[in-house]
Amino acid sequence: MRILVVEDDEMIGESVVDFLESEDYAVDWVTDGQSAILALRTTPFSLVILDLGLPGLDGLQVLREVRSRNDATPILVTTARDTVDDRVQGLDSGADDYLIKPYDLDELSARIRALLRRSAGRADPVITRGLLTIAPATREVAYDGKPVILSSKEYALLTALAERPGVVWSRNQLEEKLYNWDNTVGSNAIEVHIHHLRKKLADNAIKTVRGVGYILET
Ligand code: CA
């Protein structure tokens, strides 16, 4: 899952980015509203963490621009403004959730999981697909009842495939989910991760659709 952090405060931005990377998300960070709009026009993100008080275009303007394009990416607004009016205005401008600064990183993490679950149309906090189960809250994975230990990228790749069952993912789409702008991605990186996942789960757990991409076998 790839997350865009929009935050002009260096210290908060760094701590949020470090924390999200430790939770196996691919993270990009911009510090102003214009860059946020550009990023969202060019890159598919699973979720945005948006500060309201930004230099230039503020967070509310970013929200309105994104929603006016009918972009439904989940947006979690964070702000030091904590009047009811501010919260109402944020939600009415298209925010999906709200956190008042200073906030706890574990709460941020839980709210992200809830938003991702909702945007995938899933009520159950555990993802179950055939023999596979994934518990995002603990990042525990099991296949055919047995626990499976995955690397951070393997976990991210498997979650992407499992979150949208029946969808064939191209290599390019998977790279965009797993790597941020700073990463140089080797041309066979996805193939290597798929190979490892098949070894750890089962040979037929992930199908190759020739010339198109990969799909989870359910
Ligand atoms: Ca700010």
Q: Residue 8 C-alpha to ligand 1 middle, in angstroms?
A: 5
pLDDT score, position 88? 87
Ranges of residues in the chain with a pLDDT under 50 are none
Q: Residue 84 C-alpha to ligand 1 middle, in angstroms?
A: 18
Q: Residue 108 C-alpha to ligand 1 middle, in angstroms?
A: 17
pLDDT score, position 31? 98
Q: Residue 104 C-alpha to ligand 1 middle, in angstroms?
A: 17
Distance CA 85, CA 164 (A): 36
91: DSSP letter: H
Closest CA to 108 of 81, 2, 100, 182: 100
pTM of the model as a whole: 0.92
pLDDT score, position 44? 92
pLDDT score, position 201? 97
CA distances from residue 66 to 59, 94, 112, 213 in whole angstroms, order as listed: 11, 9, 19, 29
- pLDDT tens per residue, range 146-183: 999 999 999 999 999 999 888 999 999 999 999 998 88
Beta strands in 66-152 (DSSP E): 75-79, 97-100, 127-129, 132-135, 140-143, 146-148
* Nearby residues of 122 by Cβ (< 8 Å), 6 or more positions away: 163
Tokens of 175: 């790279």
pLDDT score, position 119? 92
Q: Residue 183 C-alpha to ligand 1 middle, in angstroms?
A: 26
pLDDT score, position 89? 87
Closest CA to 41 of 62, 25, 58, 13: 62
Sheet of 2-6: strand order equals 26-30, 2-6, 47-51, 75-79, 97-100
Q: Residue 78 C-alpha to ligand 1 middle, in angstroms?
A: 9
Burial per residue of 96-118, b for 16 or more beta-carbon CB atoms within 10 angstroms, e otherwise: bbbeeeeeeeeebbebbbbbbbe
Angle between helices 84-92 and 59-68 (to 10 degrees): 20
